[in-house]
Each structure stands twice: as C-alpha cells, then as structure tokens.
Amino acid sequence: MIRYVVIIISVLLFYMEPIFGLFSPIELNEDFYVLVPRFLIIYLIFIAIYYDRKRAMLYGLIFGLLYDVFFIDIIGLYSFIFPLMCLVASFIVKFVHHHLLVATILTLLLVAAVEIILFLFYTSIGIKSLTFANFYQYNLIPTMIANGVFILMFGWLFKYILLNRFNQKLLLLQK
C-alpha cells in the first residue's frame, strides 16, 4: 500500500485542483481576486526535495501533459514547466538545509515563478491582456497566500510521507 501512496496523493491533488478552482475568483469589495490552486506542483517539488528528483520530473511530465490536454489545449506548456520546477528545486536544495521551513519558502518562490512564467506566456501570445501591476495585485499575491496556507497545512504531512518512503527504499537497497 505504502508503495503506491506517493502516486495516489498526486492523482488526488490533480483532481482536487480544478474543484478548488470552481470557488475562484473571489469577490471582495467589488474586486475579483484570482486564487489559483497549485497543489500538484507543490507536492511535486516536495517529491523532488525529499524523495527522488527523477521520479518528480517523470510525474511532472505525465501530469503536465494531462493538464495541458484536459484544460489548456496547448500541449507542451505545463509538461515543460512542471519538470523544470522539479529540476530547479532539486538543484537549489543541494545548497541549502533540508528543513521544512526552507522547503516551504522555496516551494512558494517556485510557485510564484510558475505564475510569472505563465503570465509572460499568455500575455505574449495575446490570449490575455493584463498589466503586471494588476497581475501582481489580483492574481499573484492571492495565489501565493492561498498556496502558502495549503503548504502550512499539508507540508509536514508530505514531508513525513515522502521521507518515510525514502527511508523504506533505502532499507530495501541495503538488504
């Protein structure tokens, strides 16, 4: 059972994202704030940090492709960004401490990077016209807050599960 728990969680998060997407945008004082759930990439970055970089990139590629085909209809966008973020995360984490707080901050920064890459992509192909100031105020900051809350709630759980799985694998290798 524990063998499959890593992939099961990613499938769950993949399906939870669009459901949380249904609650957005949130209207406050006649302004609409867009909260983008980025649960899957958060989890994948945690996999890259605590478990296995290659596996994280593989999952990133597969789920990114599903994401592209099902929601975006532009193939190659998320299937590139997800593995890239996992790669960057695993690269940075070599130089810093593996503490949960560090992982949380790193993940949040990478989520912001995903948002900014997407902002640049969508404004450059002309699907959306949005100034960076508006994007920053109505999209980026609310998204960061929402995902920050998500990491604070579930980050320790992800770390616990992934480290457990990592140690289990290590034991198997030693035998």
Partner 1 sequence: MPQFFSNKRLVLLLVGMIFLVALISFSLRDRNHASLPEQLIKDVVGFGQTMFSKPTQYVTGIFNNVESLLNTYDENTRLKARLEDYATLQASVNDLQLENDELRKIIDKEENLRAFNPIQSTVIARNPDQWEEKIIIDKGEIHGVAVNMAVMTSQGLIGKVILTTPYTSTVELLSTQNPNYRVSAVIAGEQEVFGLIEGYDVERKELVLKRIDSEFEVKKGQKVTTSGLGGIFPKGILIGEVTEVTTDDYGLTQLAYVKPAASFSILDHVIISKRTINPVDGTDGGNTEADLTEGAGEES
- Enumerate binding residues for partner 1 (CB under 8 A): 11, 15-27, 32, 34, 36-37, 66, 68-77, 80, 91, 118, 122, 125, 127-130
Beta carbon of residue 148, minimum distance to partner 1 (angstroms, whole number): 17
Judged by beta carbon, residue 12 or residue 163, the one nearer partner 1 is 12
Judged by beta carbon, residue 119 or residue 154, the one nearer partner 1 is 119
Helix (H, G, I), strand (E, B) or coil at 31: strand
| φ, ψ at 32 (rounded to 5°) | -100, 125
Beta carbon of residue 30, minimum distance to partner 1 (angstroms, whole number): 8
**39: its two tokens:** 């649960």
CA–CA separation, 10 and 16 (whole Å): 10
Judged by beta carbon, residue 1 or residue 73, the one nearer partner 1 is 73
Beta carbon of residue 157, minimum distance to partner 1 (angstroms, whole number): 20
Q: Where are the beta strands (DSSP E) in the chain?
A: 26-28, 31-33
Beta carbon of residue 33, minimum distance to partner 1 (angstroms, whole number): 11
Judged by beta carbon, residue 72 or residue 102, the one nearer partner 1 is 72
Burial annotation 2-41 (CB, 10 A radius, 16+ → b, else e): eeeebeebbeebbeebeeeeeeeeeeeeeeebbbbbbbbb
